[in-house]
Structure 1
Amino acid sequence: MCCSGDDPRRVERDNKPALISRLNRIEGQVRGINRMVQEDRYCIDILTQVAAVKSALDSLAMQLLESHARGCVADAVAAGDGAAAIDELMQVVRKLR
């Protein structure tokens, strides 16, 4: 789903429960890393968990990016407002690299 309602930045997501579930898992992983640091666990084990969190966040970002491109950006292009939407999309892609 794409931007909707009075606020053009408000987004209705069909997959909201799945996104929240994924974010809750990531939050749990970060809490686990915190515990590992507090417990003076082996650095490689901590770094492995950091890599897993980074990968999970990257996957979430790509899912959101795809949803935005297929929804909001596609709608903006169809409405003749594509240049600004593509510029905004490319700014966030650069941040994700």
Structure 2
Amino acid sequence: MQLDPDQMTPVINRIKRAQGQLAGVLRLLEEGRDCEDVVTQLAAVSKALDRAGFAIVASGLQQCLAAGDGDIDSLDVKKMEKLFLSLA
């Protein structure tokens, strides 16, 4: 399944924000900042990436349903399950 670039704009923006947050985590580590600050920022990066991943999978699922005229039997359920679980 191909991703629609127009639908991916918010996902791309989220990943770019996460990239900036990750750079911030590196900076905190290099500065020897408090463990709590580092872990808090790292958790924010992780959550942002998870949300981007779920948005990508949801978009793919939506495309599969549209392509199959809503026929759930036409979906590769195992493949979609594997994608979702890879984010868990």
Displacement of 1:10 in angstroms is 3.0
Deviations 1:23-65 (A, max 9, x none): 1111000000001000100001000001111111111112112
Aligned partner of 1:86 in structure 2 is 77
Question: Kindly tell me: are residues 79 and 41 of structure 1, through their superposed partners in 2, closer, same or farther at Cα, counting changes over 3 Å?
Answer: closer
RCO greater where, 1 or 2, for CA within 8 Å and sep 6 or more?
2
- Name stretches of at least 5 consecutive residues in structure 2 with no aligned partner: none
Question: What CA distance in whole angstroms lies between the structure 2 residues aligned with 1:60 and 1:25?
Answer: 11
TM-score by length of 1: 0.75
Shifted more, 36-45 versus 62-71: the winner is 62-71
2:37 is the counterpart of 1:70: no
- Name stretches of at least 5 consecutive residues in structure 1 with no aligned partner: 1-8
| Stretches (4+) displaced over 3 A | 76-81
Question: What CA distance in whole angstroms lies between the structure 1 residues aligned with 2:39 and 2:72?
Answer: 46
Question: What CA distance in whole angstroms lies between the structure 1 residues aligned with 2:25 and 2:11?
Answer: 21
TM-score by length of 2: 0.82
What number of residue pairs does the alignment pair up? 86
Aligned partner of 1:5 in structure 2 is none
Shifted more, 40-49 versus 86-95: the winner is 86-95
Aligned partner of 1:20 in structure 2 is 12
- Taking only the aligned residue pairs, the percentage that are identical comes to 27
